Amino acid sequence: MKALISIDYTYDFVATDGKLTTGAAGQAIETELVALTKEFITAGEYVVFAIDAHDPNDRYHPENKLFPAHNVIGTKGRDLYGSLATLYQENEQAENVYWIDKRHYSAFSGTDLDIRLRERGVKELYLTGVCTDICVLHTAVDAYNLGYQLVIPEKCVASFDEVGHEWALRHFQNTLGARII
């Protein structure tokens, strides 16, 4: 079985005025990302929305020193961006759709993601969203170390750093054995 992990495709990471935006690069993947997500939902495959949930007053969280406040709990910045928001709202009660709040880059760090995937017999993960070289990358490394096969749909990932994006795609393929499609 396979699953799709939709990582941080939120207002703050994608909208032009988002707090830590990928801007045009993130906006350019919306159509492909939504189509693939819809395909997985319709086919009954497991779809996980792994979304940053930050508290800017958490003085122990290292991201608060590295990046401006983003995806703050209780703000529109955490809302899914564009038509992905509509797709989620239409399917959020479906048995195969799950939302995870995450504190760290990786969707596996401090969450029950691995348990939920194993319960369903998932062996192959499709990773989508932003940022290719941060949260998607850290999720991919953890998935690889946990024994999952990785697929990265190139038209469904983006970053605010084009050099980092290209490096991460090579790393997925050459170091983690991911299929880039």
The domains found in the chain, sorted by start residue, are: 2-180 (3.40.50.850)
Contacts 24+ apart (CB under 8 A), 170-176: 171/137, 172/137, 172/140, 176/140, 176/141, 176/144, 176/150
Cα 128 from chain centroid? Answer: 5
- The predicted pLDDT at position 65 comes to 77
- The predicted pLDDT at position 56 comes to 81
- The predicted pLDDT at position 179 comes to 98
**CA-to-CA distance for 16 and 14, rounded, in angstroms?**
6
**CA-to-CA distance for 65 and 101, rounded, in angstroms?**
20
**CA-to-CA distance for 116 and 98, rounded, in angstroms?**
10
- The predicted pLDDT at position 80 comes to 98
Q: What is the mean pLDDT of each run of 10 residues along the chain (181 residues)?
A: 98 96 98 98 98 86 80 93 98 97 96 98 98 98 98 98 98 98 98
Measuring CA to CA, how many Å separate 73 from each of 29, 41, 102, 119? 25, 26, 11, 29
- The predicted pLDDT at position 50 comes to 98
Element holding 46 (H helix, E strand): strand 46-52
- The predicted pLDDT at position 69 comes to 82
* Block residue for tokens 């495709």: 9
